[in-house]
């Protein structure tokens, strides 16, 4: 009788979840997903969908908590937190803008080159290709695991003043423009005739409203969700550059997950990525219409001739960063895109 109770006790504890067996279905992993934008943006919606699907399908195994609008970290601090993390059960995920990763992989500056993409279809050709994996591989040595690319959309320019941005360098001269932390973006603004000003995303609205900067460049979803159009006079639809994100996790955490859990999370991330592309496409038209209907900034479409002038003015930017990105990488990108 005593022996029977001795055998049954571990079984009871196991069923109750009081004994932890590494890699077992009873293990509880927590993922804290941090991002800096509104939950209503394409990235915000994709993060919420990812959390919903994981929490429904992997209940008891993995739980995802989403922290939008820099509630947990900003993009710089979240990457440092991921790199320093040594927890095997609590992991951090984030989706910083691609320009944030340039210090780890110079080839990623390709995404910042002005007019290298004719549209979002070109972007998808690149991010869905093996070349994208080669460009993100160096991140592993820095403690980060690249998981997927998420869209926001092609960028537009906004400005406060009497006239929209049409002609370069006349309309840009002496004007200060907020940019992300990207040397390529800085070179582009200078090539157009303006003055680049690097500022964190959460400071942009205040900087625009107080005149610290005159204008900015962003995707439609950010212009609308952060109300930039309310403190700007004009929005020029230039489509000059891509704004996208790289979804990453702590490499230490990701590699220590059981293989079956990694497989499930990867599959769910693929679903969230497909949804993100839909969200971004919807925002590209929907948020533009909302800005137009708001009665604040006026929206103007650049003519083909005006875009050609912008393209010509910024052509030297690619040459300026050819060595850093790698001539061979740039050649592969142009070949892939049919240039």
Show Cβ contacts of residue 13 under 8 Å, excluding neighbours closer than 6 positions.
19
What's the sign of the alpha-carbon dihedral 318, 320, 322, 324? negative
Task: Delimit the domains of the chain by residue range.
Answer: 156-242+287-337
Which residues are 179's β-sheet partners? 198
Residue in 93, 82, 87 with CA at minimum distance from that of residue 31 = 93
Show the beta-strand stretches assigned E in the chain: 29-34, 62-67, 90-94, 144-154, 156-159, 176-179, 195-198, 215-218, 234-237, 242-250, 298-301
**152 confidence band (pLDDT: 50, 70, 90):** very high
Least confident of 18-32, 109-123, 160-174, 222-236: 18-32
Q: Cis ω on the peptide bond leading into residue 286 (within 30° of 0)?
A: no
Reported pTM: 0.88
Q: Residue 9 corresponds to which tokens in the numbers above?
A: 């006790």
Homologous superfamily in CATH for domain 156-242+287-337: Bacterial extracellular solute-binding protein, family 7 (3.40.190.170)
Mean pLDDT calculated for residue range 159-185:
96
Q: Residue 120 corresponds to which tokens in the numbers above?
A: 């979002």
Q: Give 105-118 pLDDT, tens digit per residue.
A: 999 999 999 999 99
Contact 96, 65 (CB under 8 A): no
Show Cβ contacts of residue 270 under 8 Å, excluding neighbours closer than 6 positions.
148
Between 247 and 14, whose confidence is greater? 247
Q: What is the DSSP string of 316-330?
A: HHHHHTHHHH-HHHH
Contact 83, 143 (CB under 8 A): yes
- Longest Cα–Cα distance in the chain: 93
Could you give the C-alpha distances from 198 to 170, 180, 189, 307, in angstroms and in order?
22, 6, 11, 24
Q: Give 36-81 pLDDT, tens digit per residue.
A: 999 999 999 999 999 999 999 999 999 999 999 989 998 889 999 9
Look at phi and psi of residue 113 and say left if phi exceeds 0, alpha if psi is from -120 to 50, else beta. Answer: beta
Residue in 178, 244, 253, 184 with CA at minimum distance from that of residue 212 = 178
Show Cβ contacts of residue 154 under 8 Å, excluding neighbours closer than 6 positions.
117, 119, 120, 219, 239, 240, 241, 242, 243, 284
- How many residues in total does the chain contain? 339
Q: What is the mean pLDDT of the chain?
A: 92
The pLDDT assigned to 74 comes to 86
Which residues are 217's β-sheet partners? 157
**312 confidence band (pLDDT: 50, 70, 90):** very high
Mean pLDDT calculated for residue range 255-270:
97
What distance in Å separates the CA atoms of residue 51 and residue 14, rounded to the nearest whole number? 27
Least confident of 1-5, 103-107, 335-339: 1-5
What distance in Å separates the CA atoms of residue 101 and residue 117, rounded to the nearest whole number? 19
The pLDDT assigned to 133 comes to 96
Residue written as token pair 């205040």: 206
Q: Give 232-256 pLDDT, tens digit per residue.
A: 999 999 999 999 999 999 999 999 9
The pLDDT assigned to 17 comes to 39
The CA-based angle 45-46-48, given to 5 degrees, is 65
């Amino acid at each position: 009788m005593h022996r029977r109770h001795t055998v049954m006790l571990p079984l009871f504890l196991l069923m109750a979840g009081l004994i932890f067996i590494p890699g077992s279905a009873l293990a509880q992993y927590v993922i804290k997903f941090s991002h800096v934008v509104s939950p209503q943006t394409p990235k915000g919606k994709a993060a919420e969908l990812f959390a919903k699907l994981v929490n429904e399908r992997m209940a008891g195994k993995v739980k995802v908590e989403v922290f939008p609008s820099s509630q947990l970290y900003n993009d710089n601090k979240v990457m440092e937190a991921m790199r320093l993390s040594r927890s095997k059960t609590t992991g951090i995920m984030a989706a910083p803008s691609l320009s944030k990763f340039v210090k780890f992989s110079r080839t990623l500056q390709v995404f910042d080159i002005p007019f290298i993409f004719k549209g979002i279809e070109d972007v998808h050709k690149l991010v869905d290709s093996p070349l994208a994996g080669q460009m993100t591989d160096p991140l592993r040595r820095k403690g980060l695991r690249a998981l997927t690319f998420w869209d926001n959309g092609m960028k537009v320019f906004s400005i406060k003043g009497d006239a929209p941005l049409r002609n370069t360098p006349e309309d840009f001269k002496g004007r200060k423009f907020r940019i992300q932390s990207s040397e390529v973006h800085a070179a582009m603004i200078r090539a157009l005739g303006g003055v680049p000003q690097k500022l964190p995303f959460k400071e942009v609205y205040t900087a625009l409203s107080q005149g610290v900067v005159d204008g900015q460049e962003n995707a439609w979803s950010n212009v609308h969700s952060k109300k930039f159009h309310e403190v700007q006079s004009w929005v020029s639809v230039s489509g000059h550059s891509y704004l996208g994100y790289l979804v990453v996790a702590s490499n230490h955490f990701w590699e220590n997950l059981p293989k079956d859990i990694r497989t499930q999370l990867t599959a769910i991330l693929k679903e969230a990525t497909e949804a993100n592309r839909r969200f971004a496409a919807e925002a590209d038209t929907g948020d533009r219409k909302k800005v137009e209907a708001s009665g604040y900034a006026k929206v103007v479409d650049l003519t083909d001739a005006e875009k050609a002038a912008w393209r010509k003015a910024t052509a030297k930017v690619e040459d300026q960063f050819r060595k850093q990105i790698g001539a061979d990488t740039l050649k592969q990108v142009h070949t892939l895109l049919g240039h």
